[in-house]
Structure 1
Amino acid sequence: MVAGETSGDLLAGLLLDGFKARWPALASAGIGGPHMAKRGFDAWWPSDKLAVRGYVEVLRHYREIVGIRDQLKVRLLEQRPDIFIGVDAPDFNLDLEAALKAQGIRTVHFVSPSVWAWRADRVEKIRRSVDHVLCIFPFEPALLASHGIAATYVGHPLANVIPMQPDRAAARRKLGLRDADTVVAILPGSRKSEVQYLAKRFFEAAALVKRVQPAIKFIVPAVPLLKHMIERLAGEAGVQADLQIVEGQSHTVLAACDVTLIASGTATLEAALFKRPMVIAYNMNWLSWQIMRRKKLQPWVGLPNILCEDFVVPELLQDAATPAALAAGVLQWVDAKSAAPDKIAAVEQRFTLLHAQLQRDTAQLATDAIQKILEG
């Protein structure tokens, strides 16, 4: 298996639970993180080696990443596993899967590349690279089948992990917050490049919010490896004393908050499953943004908006993601808590319907699909 970042590690860990139940003697190895390690996964390289987003950012790490892929390919062709599962990270995994498939190793890709949102040209590469795709969104198998790609809808694993009705009071007690507090969660991303481009402007936005609403509590769940970087950037923005920075615990933080200021990515779907209003933002290297925006196929970037096919929550991207605009977006949700509770209720209702749609026994369905591939 290869999982290329924090979210991929989490998804792969949930899959491994199902695999171990079906195949108790399972041996799994490759590239992974702590969630996979807890299930006995042998990580030859840590998943954070691949946690780079953006064209220009990848170029800076290109040699190292390609070197890892080449070494991994040699090792896998020597050991010839019964099956290879690439978990997300399509830029890394699809080329590796193509090489393995060409040599007769069965390949599965978990989490379909978002060809419905951008880079539709990837479809041919997917067909060439994988025997089967495990899809987390219900409309994807039919789309892939129309291009001759076998796929199974397995639901989104996080929809089973996150409760339909999160316990806000319990989460607040765990974090030392009061029921009466107004809490804003700040999630600037799980990759170093994301934190580099987003954290400081998020923290500057927090300073502006604090001026208007001095009693607001801000809490930041930090990926352990990036905690020092986040603390430094908070200090540079002059708000370190106003933030509660915790190591990990992103789900506890999302359960506890009233609203979140959040980087576009998997975390936005997690926030939606927690039924939380949010302001989605993204900023990256200018050249990477110019390339990416030309490949975009839909008007939305945030996963909750894409899945709801509507701007349920605001998106502030690239130059629009100024501290002032981010602060205004957060304050609109904070004000709505008392002035327009129906607006909050409408968002919660949309996200509850989305949650129900994504809730399946993912580990069981994925294991069943893989069993058929192995038998075939």
Structure 2
Amino acid sequence: MEPLRIAMVAGEASGDLLAGLLLQGMHARWPGLQAQGIGGPRMKAQGFDEWWPHDKLAVRGYVEVLMHYREIVGIRKQLAQRLLADPPRAFIGVDAPDFNLDLEGQLREKGVKTVHFICPSIWAWRADRVHKIKRCADHVLCVFPFEPELLHSHGIGATYVGHPLANVIPMEPDKAAARAALGLAADDEVLAVLPGSRGSEVKYHASLFFEAAALAATSRPGLKIVVPAMPAFKSAIEEAARFAGLKDALIVEGQSHAVLAACDVTLIASGTATLEAALFKRPMVISYAMNWLTYRMMKPHQVLPWFGLPNILLREFAVPELIQQDATPPALAQALLDWLQAPERMAAVQDKFRALHVLLQRDTAQLATDAIDKVIHA
């Protein structure tokens, strides 16, 4: 019997992380599995055959995508041709809906089974995208419990599989061990700064976040600032930290989970990392800034009042959000100080994050591979 061969696309660091965890479960179910397409280091660690690196697709925002449009469309065209010339048993698009859904539509039209992993956030943003999902995906693997019912109401097959990170991140992270590993003292007051995993995010957030961190440090002498940096952006982050006067900031390559486990509070760019911070039970200030034209184009498509995933899932402003023009260094610094000066408030939000963690914990590998198997054999 020939080994199962599938194609996958993960378009950025968070997708690579989720796809790597999914591949672990798929290899356990289907020994000899062959997986190929677009991915990153975590997928490659699971034996993934990377045809293009995932960072080619790591672009967010209308204006930013337009700047890279020809290259991205060219990659999608070449990938579609390659897959249609030798069709896999299934294609799994991991997040990156702007890239993946169109590709899934082309493949599905030619008889390739398609699975989309992570439901596009139609409940928060661009609700009309549900029609494209119905046309392009045979099945959607959902990481949030309310999503399948919404998709079923539109005639889309969907399964709640839990969030893979909820099984990776411990319910009670070991702060002392993380601090020891990073060379921090047990009694240090630690601020984690996470400006994002894309070049455009680092461009808009690094200086802004470090200026805010410097202001917070003037009010909290001894505050330790720790930054996990992707290798490609480490030098830019180091330069931004120096420019803000944070010559003592600890900037480490990768290790975002260790940094989140070690910190007391985090200043963090909106995205999957905010959910990771919530699973680590860390109070946070969520922020995001982008090209002004991109923001003006995106704002009318926003459905919910919340921007960050923890607030969306809890359906309340459990943590502060400072977006676009509201994201100023003094405002961000004050929001951080408000956390550090209120331990009771910090404990209360940590209790909310524990309940959220329990909600997201499922046997993701089993549920996801069961759903994929049904799609393949339908």
TM-score (norm 2): 0.97
SS in 2 for 1:28: strand
Distance in 1 (alpha carbons) for counterparts of 2:56 and 2:238: 22
Runs of 4+ deviating beyond 6 Å: none
Tell me by how many angstroms 1:225 deviates. 1.1
Instruction: Note if 1:9 corresponds to 2:16.
Output: yes
Distance in 2 (alpha carbons) for counterparts of 1:293 and 1:46: 30
Instruction: Note if 1:120 corresponds to 2:127.
Output: yes
After superposition, the CA RMSD in angstroms is 0.6
TM-score (norm 1): 0.98
Distance in 2 (alpha carbons) for counterparts of 1:230 and 1:156: 30
Query: Aligned residues, how many?
Result: 371
Instruction: Note if 1:279 corresponds to 2:281.
Output: no
Distance in 2 (alpha carbons) for counterparts of 1:224 and 1:109: 29
Identity %: 67
| Aligned partner of 1:263 among 266, 269, 283 | 269
After TM superposition, list the pairs within 5 Å mapping 1:189-268 onto structure 2.
189-239=196-246, 241-268=247-274
Tell me by how many angstroms 1:210 deviates. 1.5
Structure 1, residues 63-109: CA drift from partner, whole Å, max 9, x if none? 10000000000000011000000000000000000000000000000
Instruction: Note if 1:28 corresponds to 2:30.
Output: no
Structure 1, residues 133-159: CA drift from partner, whole Å, max 9, x if none? 000000000000000100000000000
SS in 1 for 2:33: coil
Distance in 1 (alpha carbons) for counterparts of 2:126 and 2:361: 27
SS in 2 for 1:180: coil
Instruction: Note if 1:109 corresponds to 2:116.
Output: yes
After TM superposition, list the pairs within 5 Å mapping 1:329-344 onto structure 2.
329-336=335-342, 341-344=343-346
Q: Which amino acid aligns with 2:365?
A: A
SS in 2 for 1:300: coil
Instruction: Note if 1:289 corresponds to 2:295.
Output: yes
**Structure 2 unpaired stretches of 5+:** 1-7
Distance in 2 (alpha carbons) for counterparts of 1:45 and 1:327: 39
SS in 2 for 1:115: coil
Distance in 1 (alpha carbons) for counterparts of 2:350 and 2:305: 22
Tell me by how many angstroms 1:335 deviates. 1.1
Instruction: Note if 1:69 corresponds to 2:76.
Output: yes
| Aligned partner of 2:44 among 20, 23, 37 | 37
SS in 2 for 1:84: strand
SS in 1 for 2:257: helix
Distance in 2 (alpha carbons) for counterparts of 1:97 and 1:24: 25
Structure 1, residues 11-48: CA drift from partner, whole Å, max 9, x if none? 00000011101111110000000000000000000001
Instruction: Note if 1:325 corresponds to 2:331.
Output: yes
Q: Which amino acid aligns with 1:259?
A: V
Partner of 2:154: 147
Tell me by how many angstroms 1:342 deviates. 2.0
Q: Which amino acid aligns with 2:354?
A: T
**Structure 1 unpaired stretches of 5+:** none
